[in-house]
Amino acid sequence: MNNEIITDLFFDLDHTLWDFEKNSALTFEKIFNELKIEIPLSVFLEKYNPINQAYWKLYREDKITQIELRFKRLEKTFEAIEYEIAGGSINQISDKYIEYLPTFPHLFPETIIVLNGLQKKYNMHIITNGFEEVQHPKIERSG
């Protein structure tokens, strides 16, 4: 029997504490409204989400750069939904996405309550493989 005492808990930020899908959808909704891109959000997200996950996998495996990830996931999504868009517009969407994403503060339900309860007994840590310029504002704005 293992008698080690657990003193520290580690949480991934995105998809564990911070509701990535909800905040991402709100971000794209804001960008599409701002840039007058007339695509049903559900159609875009249906293709974007798996494409984004595939490109994040490539990024984690050091097969693509951050810049390639940010551009290609959008380029491939627009191709998949057969929506013609210029490369410059993709770069603009990508930049706005990084800027706007951390402004949405939605956590999963009861996250703060659970963390506050656990904090009484454990040292708490957040780990993430997300981009630093996005992750710190997410934490600050979500409380």
CATH number of the structural domain spanning residue 135: 1.10.150.240
Q: How many whole angstroms separate alpha carbon 130 and alpha carbon 134?
A: 7
On whether residue 2 sits in a domain, the answer given is no
Number of domains into which the chain is organized: 1
- Higher-confidence residue of 61 and 1: namely 61
Residue 60 structure tokens? 């984690």
Average of per-residue pLDDT across 17-29: 94
pTM listed for this prediction = 0.86
Residue 102 structure tokens? 């951390």
The H or E element that residue 125 is part of is strand 123-127
On whether residue 1 sits in a domain, the answer given is no
On whether residue 3 sits in a domain, the answer given is no
Confidence of residue 30 (pLDDT cuts 50, 70, 90): very high
How does pLDDT run across 89-114, given as a tens digit for each residue?
A: 999 999 999 999 999 999 999 999 99
On whether residue 112 sits in a domain, the answer given is yes
pLDDT score recorded for residue 1: 56
Average of per-residue pLDDT across 18-25: 93
Number of Cβ atoms within 10 Å of the Cβ of 48: 21
Range of the structural domain that residue 23 is part of? 8-142
pLDDT at residue 70 is higher than 60:
yes
pLDDT score recorded for residue 107: 94
The H or E element that residue 67 is part of is helix 66-80
Q: Answer for the pair 142, 106: CB distance below 8 angstroms, yes or no.
A: yes
CB proximity list for 5: less than 8 A, separation 6 or greater: none
On whether residue 68 sits in a domain, the answer given is yes
pLDDT score recorded for residue 59: 93
At residue 9, the 3 state secondary structure works out as strand
pLDDT at residue 15 is higher than 80:
yes
Q: Answer for the pair 25, 104: CB distance below 8 angstroms, yes or no.
A: no
